[in-house]
C-alpha cells in the first residue's frame, strides 16, 4: 500500500527484496545508517514481498535482479498489475544495457548498479528519498484534484468549463443531468458542435465577448428546444478558457410573467385602485386613480356597483402576494448573486493559481529532486485545501438557522480545537462560558476559523481563550498573537481580506456570516494580552 498524504512526514518505509539474507541485512543496515528517514523491511522473494505490500504501508521497493523464485523484472511486473504509483528501484550487480532496458519496460522507476564505493548506499538512499517524496506529492496532488472535483459536484448550480478552443474541459453532474448527457463523453468535444441550438444566440455572443475582452458577463436567457427553460448565466474568462455557472430560473420567470399580467389587468381596469403604505402614503395608483387625482371628472362617475369587484379583489390580492414574493426573491437573489460571485472568483482564479504552481513545481521537483521544490508544492497544496474548505462553506451559503438547539459552548470549542492543526498552541476555556441557541455544526465552523486565524497570525505557540462576556449572554474569543491594527479592524470581515501569505481571505468573513445567521453581531478589538479579541453579542 502506498502512503497517503497524511503520512508525508512519516519515515520512508522501504521494502528490500533479495534472496541472499546476508546481503539483505547489509543493505538494510547501510540504508538505515545512511538516512534516519528510512525504515527498511527485508523480503526474500516475490510471495513475501507481495504479502508485505498488501498488509503494510510501503513507500518504496528496492529489489535485486536475481531472486530464488523469479527476478526483479518479474517482481516489478507483478506489482505493476496492482499498483502503478509506488517507486521501484532495481539495485543489482548484474548490470547491462539489456537488463536496464527490460527493467524500464516493466515499470522500474530507476536502476542503480551495486558498486564497492562507499557512497553507493548514499546514492541509493538519496534516490529513495527523491522518488518517494515525488510519489507522495503526486498522490497529494491527485487527492487535491479529487477534493476540488467533489466541491464542484456538490454545488447546486450547473457548472462547466471550456478551453480557449471552445472544447469542454469539465462538466459537473448538475449540468449533465440538466442536458441529459454523459459529462465524461463530452470532455474534449467542441461546445458549438455538441450544442448547435445555442449557435447564433445571445448565449454564444456573450461567451465570445467574455473570451475576447477578458471581462465576466452575466445575463438571463430562454434556451429553445431541446432545452426549453430559462437560465441565469455567469461566465468568468481567464487565460485558459471560460468557466460558466448556470442556474435554472424557469419557475421564477413564470412567476414574474404572471405578475406582469396581473399588473397589466390592474392598470387598465376602469375602477380606481390605490395601494397605501403604513403611513397612508400612496405606493401605487392605477391609470384610473391617476386620472382622478389629476382632476378628470369622468373618472368620478361611479354610481353603479360593478360586478367586477370580486375579480378586482382577487387580482389585487394576487398582485400584492406576487409583489411580496418578487421583493423577497430579489432580496434572496441579491444574496445568492454575491455568494455566486465569491464562489466563481475562487474557482476561476484563486484555486487555479495555486494548482498551477503546485503542478509546475512538481514537474521541476521530479526533474531535479531538490527539496525546496517539494516544499513549494506542499505549500501550494496546503493553500488549495484551505480554499476548498472555505469554498464549500461559501457554496452552501445558509443565511438562517433552521434547526436551533441549546449548545454547550465549552464542548463545541473543544471539538473545534481538535479539528485544527494546533501545533504548540494552547486553548483555555474560561469559567462562566454561556450556553447559546444555535446550530452545532455551523458554530463548530465558526470556532475552527477563529482558531486557524489565531494560529496563522499569532504563531504556533499562541494561547487562545474562550469565555463569556460580563453582564451579557454573549461570548468572546481572544488570542495572544500580534493583534489587528485599528485601521484594519473594520475590514477583516470582508471576503478576500487577509494579511497572511497563506491565508484565503475567507475565514473571518465566514465567521461573520455564521454570526449573522444566528442573530449575533461580531466585533474585533485589542485583546488583554496584545492579541485580537472577537466579541459576539445578541443583536438588539
pLDDT band of 462, cuts 50, 70, 90: very high
Structure-block grid coordinates of residue 326 = 418578487
**Which stretch of DSSP H or E encloses residue 484?**
none
> Which among 473, 489, 413, 468 has a CA at the least distance from the CA of 446?
413
Which range, of 31-40, 47-56, 337-346, averages the lowest pLDDT? 337-346
Cα atoms found within 13 Å of the Cα of residue 25, Cβ hemisphere only: 2
Q: Which pLDDT does position 473 carry in this prediction? A: 75
pLDDT, average across residues 507-516: 84
Structure-block grid coordinates of residue 427 = 486553548
pLDDT band of 387, cuts 50, 70, 90: low
Structure-model confidence comparison of residues 306 and 6, the more confident one: 6
What DSSP line would sit under 310-321, residue for residue? HHHHHHHHHHHH
pLDDT, average across residues 81-107: 84
Structure-model confidence comparison of residues 339 and 49, the more confident one: 49
Whether residue 317 has pLDDT greater than 60: no
Strand bridging mode 88-92 / 60-63: parallel
Q: Reduce the DSSP state of residue 421 to 3 states and report it.
A: coil
- With beta carbons less than 8 A apart as the criterion, state whether 42 and 18 touch: yes
Q: Which pLDDT does position 477 carry in this prediction? A: 95
Helix axes 72-80, 97-106, angle to 10 degrees: 10
Structure-model confidence comparison of residues 49 and 365, the more confident one: 49
Question: What mean pLDDT is reported for the chain?
Answer: 77
Whether residue 122 has pLDDT greater than 70: yes
Q: Which pLDDT does position 269 carry in this prediction? A: 67
pLDDT band of 321, cuts 50, 70, 90: low
Q: Where are the alpha helices (DSSP H) in 231-308?
A: 250-268, 287-293
pLDDT band of 536, cuts 50, 70, 90: very high
CA distance 450 to 433: 17
Of 10-19, 146-155, 383-392, the range with the highest mean pLDDT is 10-19
CA distance 475 to 435: 9
Cα atoms found within 13 Å of the Cα of residue 430, Cβ hemisphere only: 16
pLDDT band of 128, cuts 50, 70, 90: very high
CA distance 246 to 235: 8
Structure-model confidence comparison of residues 398 and 514, the more confident one: 514
Domains and CATH numbers, the chain: 5-151 (3.40.50.2300), 155-248 (3.30.450.20), 252-331 (no CATH), 405-538 (3.30.565.10)
CA distance 536 to 469: 9
% of the chain surpassing 70 pLDDT:
69
Structure-model confidence comparison of residues 113 and 320, the more confident one: 113
Structure-model confidence comparison of residues 369 and 249, the more confident one: 249
166 secondary structure, DSSP code: S
What is the model's pTM?
0.41
Q: Give residue 456's Cα distance to chain centre.
A: 19
- With beta carbons less than 8 A apart as the criterion, state whether 237 and 214 touch: yes
Whether residue 303 has pLDDT greater than 60: no
Which range, of 10-14, 62-66, 352-356, averages the lowest pLDDT? 352-356
Q: Reduce the DSSP state of residue 530 to 3 states and report it.
A: coil
pLDDT band of 328, cuts 50, 70, 90: low
Q: Reduce the DSSP state of residue 116 to 3 states and report it.
A: coil
Of 6-15, 18-27, 370-379, 401-410, the range with the highest mean pLDDT is 18-27
Other CB atoms within a 10 A radius of the CB of residue 537 amount to 16
pLDDT band of 476, cuts 50, 70, 90: very high
Whether residue 175 has pLDDT greater than 90: no
Q: Which pLDDT does position 426 carry in this prediction? A: 92
Whether residue 276 has pLDDT greater than 50: yes
Structure-model confidence comparison of residues 528 and 266, the more confident one: 528
Whether residue 28 has pLDDT greater than 60: yes
Whether residue 155 has pLDDT greater than 90: no
% of the chain surpassing 90 pLDDT:
17
Amino acid at each position: 500500500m502506498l502512503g497517503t498524504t497524511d503520512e508525508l512526514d512519516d519515515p520512508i518505509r522501504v521494502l528490500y527484496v533479495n534472496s541472499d539474507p546476508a546481503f539483505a541485512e547489509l543493505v538494510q543496515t547501510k540504508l538505515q545508517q545512511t538516512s534516519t528517514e528510512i525504515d527498511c523491511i527485508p523480503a526474500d522473494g516475490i510471495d513475501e514481498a507481495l504479502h508485505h505490500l498488501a498488509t503494510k504501508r510501503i513507500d518504496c521497493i528496492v529489489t535485486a535482479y536475481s531472486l530464488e523464485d523469479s527476478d526483479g523484472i518479474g517482481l516489478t511486473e507483478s506489482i505493476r498489475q496492482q499498483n502503478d504509483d509506488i517507486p521501484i528501484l532495481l539495485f543489482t550487480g548484474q548490470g547491462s544495457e539489456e537488463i536496464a532496458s527490460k527493467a524500464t519496460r516493466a515499470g522500474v522507476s530507476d536502476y542503480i548498479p551495486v558498486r564497492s564505493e562507499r557512497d553507493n548506499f548514499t546514492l541509493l538512499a538519496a534516490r529513495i528519498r527523491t522518488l518517494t517524496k515525488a510519489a507522495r506529492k503526486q498522490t497529494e496532488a491527485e487527492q487535491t484534484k479529487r477534493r476540488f472535483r467533489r466541491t464542484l459536484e456538490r454545488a447546486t448550480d450547473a457548472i462547466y468549463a471550456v478551453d480557449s478552443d471552445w472544447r469542454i474541459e469539465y462538466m459537473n453532474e448538475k449540468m449533465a443531468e440538466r442536458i441529459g448527457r454523459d459529462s465524461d463523453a463530452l470532455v474534449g468535444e467542441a461546445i458549438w458542435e455538441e450544442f448547435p441550438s445555442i449557435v447564433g444566440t445571445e448565449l454564444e455572443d456573450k461567451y465570445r465577448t467574455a473570451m475576447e475582452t477578458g471581462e465576466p458577463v452575466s445575463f438571463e436567457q430562454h434556451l429553445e428546444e431541446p432545452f426549453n427553460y430559462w437560465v441565469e448565466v455567469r461566465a468568468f474568462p481567464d487565460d485558459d478558457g471560460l468557466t460558466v455557472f448556470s442556474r435554472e430560473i424557469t419557475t421564477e420567470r413564470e412567476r414574474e410573467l404572471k405578475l406582469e399580467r396581473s399588473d397589466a389587468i390592474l392598470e387598465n381596469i376602469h375602477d380606481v385602485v390605490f395601494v397605501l403604505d403604513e403611513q397612508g402614503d400612496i405606493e401605487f395608483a392605477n391609470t384610473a386613480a391617476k386620472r382622478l387625482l389629476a382632476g378628470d371628472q369622468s373618472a368620478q362617475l361611479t354610481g353603479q356597483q360593478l360586478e367586477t369587484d370580486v375579480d378586482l379583489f382577487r387580482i389585487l390580492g394576487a398582485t400584492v402576494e406576487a409583489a411580496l414574493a418578487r421583493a423577497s426573491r430579489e432580496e434572496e437573489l441579491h444574496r445568492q448573486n454575491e455568494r455566486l460571485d465569491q464562489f466563481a472568483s475562487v474557482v476561476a482564479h484563486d484555486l487555479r493559481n495555486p494548482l498551477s504552481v503546485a503542478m509546475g513545481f512538481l514537474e521541476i521537483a521530479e526533474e531535479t529532486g531538490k527539496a525546496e521544490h517539494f516544499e513549494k508544492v506542499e505549500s501550494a497544496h496546503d493553500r488549495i485545501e484551505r480554499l476548498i474548505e472555505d469554498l464549500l462553506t461559501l457554496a452552501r451559503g445558509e443565511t438562517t438557522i433552521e434547526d436551533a438547539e441549546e449548545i454547550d459552548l465549552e464542548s463545541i470549542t473543544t471539538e473545534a480545537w481538535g479539528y485544527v492543526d494546533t501545533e504548540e498552541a494552547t486553548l483555555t476555556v474560561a469559567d462562566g462560558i454561556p450556553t447559546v441557541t444555535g446550530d452545532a455544526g455551523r458554530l463548530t465552523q465558526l470556532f475552527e476559523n477563529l482558531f486557524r486565524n489565531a494560529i496563522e497570525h499569532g504563531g504556533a505557540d499562541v494561547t487562545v481563550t474562550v469565555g463569556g462576556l460580563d453582564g451579557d449572554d454573549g461570548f468572546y474569543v481572544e488570542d495572544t498573537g500580534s493583534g489587528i491594527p485599528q485601521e484594519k479592524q473594520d475590514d477583516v470581515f470582508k471576503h478576500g481580506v487577509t494579511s497572511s501569505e497563506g491565508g484565503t481571505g475567507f475565514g473571518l468573513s465566514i465567521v461573520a456570516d455564521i454570526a449573522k445567521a444566528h442573530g449575533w453581531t461580531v466585533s474585533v478589538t485589542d485583546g488583554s494580552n496584545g492579541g485580537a479579541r472577537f466579541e459576539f453579542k445578541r443583536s438588539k
